[in-house]
A and B are shown apart, each in its own frame.
Chain A
C-alpha cells in the first residue's frame, strides 16, 4: 500500500475509503531514544515513565476520545498508562512505543464497552433533530453542503447512537477498520484477535450498521407518509 493510501485510510487526507485488505503492518521498530527510555524505567528509574506519559498522552487521548463518552476519556487514558507501566516487560521494541500504547488504548476502550453492555445501560432514542439531519444530509445538493452536514453535532450523535446498538466486538472492529481505516491485520494486532475473526467481524459489523441505517430510513419514510 502506498504512503498516500495509508494517509487516506487513516483519515489524514480527506477521502472515503474502506480498507478491508489484510495488508502487513508497515511500522518501524522503536527508536533508540524510546527504547532507552523504556529500558531505564524497566531497570528501576520509575520517574522516567513521566517522560513517556508527557510524550504520548495526547496520542492516547485522541484514540480514547474517538471511542468513549467525553466524560470518561481522562479516566481511561489514566488506565491505559497504568496498564502500560504494569506490562512494560512485554514491550518487545519491535514496534514503536506509540503503536504498542495504541493497542492497549483500543483494548481498554473495548473492555469499557463490554462492561457497559453487562450493566445494560439504556441506549437513548433518536430525536427529531437527528431525523431532520438525515433528511437534510440526503438532500444535499453539493459536496460542500454534504461536508457541512457531516461537521454538525447531530452527525456525531447519530454515529454514537448507531454504534451503541452494536455488540462491543462489532463496535471495536467497525471503529478500527471502517472508521479509522486500519487494515484487518493492523486491527487484529491491536485487538490481539485472529485475522479471520477480525475479517468476519468487520463484514458482519458493517452489515449490521447498514441494516440499522436502512431500518432508520424506512421508519423515517413511514413517519413522513
Chain B
C-alpha cells in the first residue's frame, strides 16, 4: 500500500515538474523599455541634483576623524602642561619627616 502511494506521489510529482518545464519553454514577449526608461531618467535627474553618496560619506568620515584627532591632541597637551592636583609623594614624605613624633 505504502509502495503504491510512493509510486503515485512520484508520478504526480514528475507530471507537475514536466508541466512546469513545458510552460517554461513558452516565450513571453514583453516590452517594458519605455516605462523603465522613464523611471531611469527620473532617477538619474534626482541623482545629478544631489551630491553623490560616496563623496558625502567620505566628507563625513574625514570630518569625524579630524575632529577626533584634534580633541585627542588637546586632551594630551592639557594633561601634560597642567600642574597635577594630586599631592606630590615626595612633599608628603618630607612633611611627615618634619613632624615630631609623640614621644620626642
Please list the residues of chain A having a beta carbon within 8 angstroms of any beta carbon in chain B. 11, 14, 16, 44, 46-47, 49-50, 53-54, 57-58, 60-62, 65-66, 73-74, 77-78, 81-82, 85-86, 134, 137-138, 146-147, 149-152, 155-156, 158-159, 162, 178-180, 209-210, 213-214, 217-218
Please list the residues of chain B having a beta carbon within 8 angstroms of any beta carbon in chain A. 5, 8-9, 11-25, 27-33, 35-37, 39-41, 43-44
In the complex, A58 Cα to B27 Cα: how many Å?
A: 8
9 pairs across A/B with beta carbons < 8 Å? A14-B21, A49-B40, A53-B32, A57-B32, A58-B27, A66-B23, A78-B35, A137-B15, A217-B12
In the complex, A155 Cα to B17 Cα: how many Å?
A: 9
B24 x A178 contact (CB < 8 A)? no
B9 x A214 contact (CB < 8 A)? yes
Closest to A17 in B: B17
Task: Select which of B25, B28, B43 is within 8 A of A61 by beta carbon.
Answer: B28
A46-B40, A179-B20, A217-B9 known; A53 and B33 CB under 8 Å?
yes
**Measured between C-beta atoms, what is the minimum distance from B54 to chain A in Å?**
9
B19 x A159 contact (CB < 8 A)? yes
Query: How many cross-chain pairs have Cβ atoms below 8 Å apart between A and B?
Result: 115
Task: Select which of B5, B9, B21, B44 is within 8 A of A179 by beta carbon.
Answer: B21
**Measured between C-beta atoms, what is the minimum distance from A74 to chain B in Å?**
6
**Measured between C-beta atoms, what is the minimum distance from A64 to chain B in Å?**
8
A61 x B13 contact (CB < 8 A)? no
Provide the residues of chain B in CB contact with A44, threshold 8 Å.
Answer: 44
In the complex, A31 Cα to B51 Cα: how many Å?
A: 32
In the complex, A147 Cα to B33 Cα: how many Å?
A: 37
In the complex, A151 Cα to B11 Cα: how many Å?
A: 15
A58 x B30 contact (CB < 8 A)? yes
Apart from A57-B31, A58-B30, A179-B21: 10 A-B pairs, beta carbons within 8 A:
A44-B44, A81-B40, A85-B40, A138-B11, A146-B11, A146-B15, A159-B19, A179-B17, A210-B13, A214-B5
A77 x B23 contact (CB < 8 A)? no
In the complex, A66 Cα to B15 Cα: how many Å?
A: 16
Provide the residues of chain A in CB contact with B44, threshold 8 Å.
Answer: 44, 46
In the complex, A50 Cα to B32 Cα: how many Å?
A: 10
B33 x A57 contact (CB < 8 A)? yes
A58 x B40 contact (CB < 8 A)? no
**Measured between C-beta atoms, what is the minimum distance from A39 to chain B in Å?**
16
In the complex, A152 Cα to B18 Cα: how many Å?
A: 11
**Measured between C-beta atoms, what is the minimum distance from B24 to chain A in Å?**
6
- The interface centre, meaning the residue of A44, A159, A213 with most chain B CB atoms within 10 A of its CB, is A213
A138 x B36 contact (CB < 8 A)? no
- The interface centre, meaning the residue of B16, B37, B43 with most chain A CB atoms within 10 A of its CB, is B16
